[in-house]
Amino acid sequence: MANPNGIGASVRRREDARFLTGRGTYTDDINRPNQTHAVLVRSPYAHARIGGIDAAEAMQAPGVIAVLTGADMEVDKVGSLPCGWQIHSKDGSPMKEPPHFPLARDRARYVGDPVAIVIAESREQARDAAELVMVDYEELPAVATSRKALAEGAPLVHDDAAGNVCYDWHLGDLAAADAAFAQAAHVTKLDLVNNRLIPNAMEPRAAIGEYDPANGDYTLTTTSQNPHVIRLLMGAFVLGIPEHKLRVVAPDVGGGFGSKIFHYGEEAIVTWAARKVGRPVKWTADRSESFLSDAHGRDHVSHAELALDKDGHFLALKVSTIANMGAYLSTFAPSVPTYLYATLLAGQYKTPAIYAEVKAVFTNTAPVDAYRGAGRPEACYLIERLVEIAAQETGIDKTEIRRRNFIPAEAMPYQTPVALQYDTGDFAKNLEIALPLVDYDGFAARKAESARRGKLRGIGFATYIEACGIAPSNIAGALGARAGLYESAEVRFHPTGSVTVFTGSHSHGQGHETTFAQIVAERFGIPIENVEIVHGDTAKVPFGMGTYGSRSLAVGGSALVKAMDKVERKARKIAAHMLEAAETDIEVKDGRFVVAGTDKSLSIGDIALQAYVPHNFPLDELEPGLDEQAFYDPKNFTYPNGCHVCEVEVDPETGVVEVASFAAVDDFGRVINPLIVEGQVHGGLVQGIGQALYENCVYDEDSGQLITGSYMDYCMPRADDVPSFTVRYHEDQPCTHNPLGVKGCGEAGTIGASAAVMNAVVDALSDYGVTHIDMPATPEKVWQAIRRATPAQAAAE
């Protein structure tokens, strides 16, 4: 490697210096001169008619400046929060898209739906006064689960969404699937729930709105993964502020996991209110508020059937899923259970016929949208549970049944029956790498050893593939996206040879300030210290679609390469001029611009200086300056894939599941910084393990109250709940259609882990005849499953 801090090096993160010394700048760390504080009054009911709001007493409370409601927003013609995707039902009709106002107007539709904002001199004063706001609620019957929402005669969340159905969509070839089922030697059937989760980035959401009457400029500082998207959505659709008058800044952001992609009402509320009160307005969520009002994730109820021939080859897959959208459509919500889920149902297998139907429903719960993996963990979990059960039912070893059905590497590029075309992947090799890592052959001995200690041991596999690098704009558009999903980058060389890179990707833990700088340092042969990465500010970065769907490197990094290509082309021209050579004679070697066949050469630094202090440029052919911008729109999705293997030990007396070991073999294409990538995998794995064993969002079915509304009720995985991991990369299948050969690594851990863990849990309980448990496999659920499966044994104890 030419550059010690170049591609492939585990460069220690540059952003750590500020985070480790308390100098990070998160939104809540920022205070503006003359700032006010806002607290939201939220509906305590899952469904209620709002009769009137009496703020007289609150207005008298110390320090209160204003109490504003949905009626005030209506007067100011504040719009509805827009949805970024439109799905069409089987019958061609567009999805139901009821308005979602930042402050509820006539009805509140979930516990936590904002109905008023109290603005005061201090946060404590605002909080005290919020309790004095009298809202005349008339409680209405509520539906808190998707099953209840679809029941005959269920109360309607929105009057114009009959049966609470948002859309009833399908994908694939039903006739082909039915024909294959008719020929099947065996059919494996499964009903399963993909449990609802609350993302829980450790930094609660926050927003500061500012308005400068001197020039009519607005500024929103917010905890966002994509400030430009917020500017577009809030400016154009909600508040009617032209983009040149609206700056959105997402400073250091304390984790996102999808939950900070979306445009939330609070962002519009503080921006609008700042102008109303003539002072900056700051809002920071309590954790309790985050539980209630952050977009939740998952929440699928599915029935699936897999048809196999007599040798265990998959013939067809049919899936029927009910997806909970919550009370309103969040920004990306409709795409998650459709194009990010059903399109992945081929998994790593050559199943020739697939049909999926998805019914999305409204309920009186918080909106549900993308959470790390977004649709792909749901697909992986469903497929891999089915495959494992099929293996058990047919008596074929769980690794062998997968081998028999893997899409072979030589079949790439491979067109699946559900719209995607995989470019690369060697799935059999992932498995072959994983088996010795976990000593698969030694499992029987370990199981016997566990049994001697009275424990049940199980091993579970999950192979996954995901569509990342979201997204080719033409495909995304065809699938219902209302915007293209490209990325931008600007590479600005300064006269003294240092570089500022402006990227539309946003880092909220991923380490872009390091990884992106490595790419630039390597390309131009310059020290990494000379490269600055700027992100998260619409006033600095030309444009950006932000960070989600494991897209930063695959799309944002590719935009960066494209901008560097442009810089190099320009630099080559300048070098030719400076060295009095023909442009075609200039070669670039290790970042130096050399006249071919001579010892005459220039560094990029020499060229940058001339670019800004030119005296004799041929101005008709060569402009001064060395600053280039590029937009990159991917040609295809990228397809990270891998094989995860989990071993668990279950205590049959208590039902406690312990993850004994976990190995992940992942194909992310080319890896830029192995240390950072490994960290991404670890974090993803624990979120997947969390879903499998600990985390579960529960609403009371009757009242619609959130039962799991704090860290005392919602079980987050803690350090002593999880093991250390074995992580390996499989790097010889680079992505074929982006310049870095990268596929993305941010979501992989989450996608494979929950299936691997649950397969291991069910394997451990297989001696008791247990074939399936829904997540999370809590001690109580496992204990009950054991007792149910062995009534005789339970009675004897």
437 lies in the site for other proteins, by CB under 8 A: no
Q: Kind of pairing, strands 48-54 and 627-632?
A: unpaired
List the interface residues with other proteins, window 336-365 (CB under 8 A).
none
Provide the terminal-to-terminal Cα distance of the chain, rounded to the nearest Å: 65
Task: Please state the closest distance from residue 701 (CB atom) to other proteins, in A.
Answer: 24
Q: Which class for 194: exposed (0-12), middle (13-18), buried (19 or more C-beta within 10 A)?
A: buried
3-state secondary structure of 333: helix
678 lies in the site for other proteins, by CB under 8 A: yes
- Residue with Cβ nearer other proteins (12 or 49): 12
3-state secondary structure of 780: helix
Task: Please state the closest distance from residue 370 (CB atom) to other proteins, in A.
Answer: 16
Residues contacting 118, CB < 8 A, separation 6+: 38, 39, 40, 41, 55, 58, 64, 66, 67, 126, 129, 130, 133
227 lies in the site for other proteins, by CB under 8 A: no
509 lies in the site for other proteins, by CB under 8 A: yes
Residues contacting 598, CB < 8 A, separation 6+: none
A 10 A CB-CB count for 218 gives 22
- Cα 195 from Cα 691, distance rounded (Å): 7
- Cα 265 from Cα 100, distance rounded (Å): 9
Task: Please state the closest distance from residue 491 (CB atom) to other proteins, in A.
Answer: 26
A 10 A CB-CB count for 523 gives 23
Helix 674-689 and helix 748-764, axial crossing angle in degrees, nearest 10: 40
Task: Please state the closest distance from residue 674 (CB atom) to other proteins, in A.
Answer: 10
For 663-689, the DSSP string reads EEEEE-BS-S-HHHHHHHHHHHHHHHH
- Residue with Cβ nearer other proteins (696 or 738): 696
8 lies in the site for other proteins, by CB under 8 A: no
In the shown chain, the binding pattern of residues 690 to 729 toward other proteins, with x for contact by CB under 8 A and - for none, equals --------------------xxx---x-xxx-x-xx----
List the interface residues with other proteins, window 256-275 (CB under 8 A).
257
User: Segment near other proteins (CB under 8 A), from 40-48, 458-466, 671-679, 786-794?
Assistant: 671-679
DSSP 8-state symbol, 399: H
Task: Please state the closest distance from residue 746 (CB atom) to other proteins, in A.
Answer: 11
155 lies in the site for other proteins, by CB under 8 A: no
Amino acid (one-letter) located at 163? G
Task: Please state the closest distance from residue 125 (CB atom) to other proteins, in A.
Answer: 10
Helix 398-405 and helix 376-394, axial crossing angle in degrees, nearest 10: 120
623 lies in the site for other proteins, by CB under 8 A: no
- Residue with Cβ nearer other proteins (150 or 716): 716
- Cα 209 from Cα 271, distance rounded (Å): 4
28 lies in the site for other proteins, by CB under 8 A: yes
Task: Please state the closest distance from residue 225 (CB atom) to other proteins, in A.
Answer: 11
Task: Please state the closest distance from residue 234 (CB atom) to other proteins, in A.
Answer: 24
Task: Please state the closest distance from residue 30 (CB atom) to other proteins, in A.
Answer: 9
For 601-665, the DSSP string reads EEEHHHHHHHHHS-SS--TTT--S--EEEEEE--SS-B--EEEEEEEEEE-TTT--EEEEEEEEE
22 lies in the site for other proteins, by CB under 8 A: yes
- Residue with Cβ nearer other proteins (201 or 578): 201
DSSP 8-state symbol, 736: S
3-state secondary structure of 406: strand
CB 648 within 8 A of CB 764: yes
- Residue with Cβ nearer other proteins (16 or 131): 16
A 10 A CB-CB count for 569 gives 11
Taking phi first (over 0 means left), then psi (-120 to 50 degrees means alpha), and beta for anything else, what does residue 655 get? left
Among 226, 348, 424, 687, the residue binding other proteins under the rule CB under 8 A is 687
- Residue with Cβ nearer other proteins (202 or 214): 202
- Residue with Cβ nearer other proteins (421 or 710): 710
Among 245, 287, 303, 404, the residue binding other proteins under the rule CB under 8 A is 287
Task: Please state the closest distance from residue 637 (CB atom) to other proteins, in A.
Answer: 25
User: Segment near other proteins (CB under 8 A), from 408-416, 580-588, 647-655, 677-685?
Assistant: 677-685
User: Segment near other proteins (CB under 8 A), from 9-17, 236-244, 491-499, 737-745?
Assistant: 9-17
508 lies in the site for other proteins, by CB under 8 A: yes
63 lies in the site for other proteins, by CB under 8 A: no
505 lies in the site for other proteins, by CB under 8 A: no
Among 3, 7, 26, 762, the residue binding other proteins under the rule CB under 8 A is 26
User: Segment near other proteins (CB under 8 A), from 17-25, 190-198, 300-308, 458-466?
Assistant: 17-25
251 lies in the site for other proteins, by CB under 8 A: no
The dihedral over CA atoms of 770, 771, 776, 781, expressed in degrees to the nearest 10, equals -20
Taking phi first (over 0 means left), then psi (-120 to 50 degrees means alpha), and beta for anything else, what does residue 109 get? alpha
Task: Give the C-alpha distances (Å, rounded to integers) separating 322 from 93, 177, 275, 326, 734.
Answer: 18, 20, 42, 12, 36
583 lies in the site for other proteins, by CB under 8 A: no
Among 24, 63, 525, 542, the residue binding other proteins under the rule CB under 8 A is 24
Among 8, 98, 683, 739, the residue binding other proteins under the rule CB under 8 A is 683
List the interface residues with other proteins, window 510-549 (CB under 8 A).
510-511
Task: Please state the closest distance from residue 285 (CB atom) to other proteins, in A.
Answer: 10
Among 241, 253, 270, 594, the residue binding other proteins under the rule CB under 8 A is 253
CB 595 within 8 A of CB 586: yes
282 lies in the site for other proteins, by CB under 8 A: no
Task: Please state the closest distance from residue 297 (CB atom) to other proteins, in A.
Answer: 13
756 lies in the site for other proteins, by CB under 8 A: no
- Cα 383 from Cα 388, distance rounded (Å): 9
480 lies in the site for other proteins, by CB under 8 A: no
16 lies in the site for other proteins, by CB under 8 A: yes
DSSP H stretches of helix in 161-217: 174-182
- Cα 776 from Cα 693, distance rounded (Å): 4
CB 166 within 8 A of CB 96: yes
Total residues interacting with other proteins, rule: CB under 8 A: 56
682 lies in the site for other proteins, by CB under 8 A: yes
Among 171, 180, 201, 786, the residue binding other proteins under the rule CB under 8 A is 201
- Residue with Cβ nearer other proteins (195 or 680): 680
SS3 content of the chain, % helix, strand, coil (to 5): 35, 25, 45
CB 194 within 8 A of CB 378: yes
- Cα 757 from Cα 662, distance rounded (Å): 9
- Residue with Cβ nearer other proteins (399 or 708): 708
Among 175, 202, 214, 619, the residue binding other proteins under the rule CB under 8 A is 202
Among 140, 174, 437, 675, the residue binding other proteins under the rule CB under 8 A is 675
List the interface residues with other proteins, window 118-137 (CB under 8 A).
124
590 lies in the site for other proteins, by CB under 8 A: no
- Residue with Cβ nearer other proteins (704 or 746): 746
Residues contacting 522, CB < 8 A, separation 6+: 1, 2, 3, 5, 6, 7
Q: Where on the chain is the footprint of other proteins (CB under 8 A)?
A: 12-13, 15-26, 28-29, 124, 200-204, 252-255, 257, 286-288, 508-511, 675-676, 678-679, 681-687, 710-712, 716, 718-720, 722, 724-725, 749
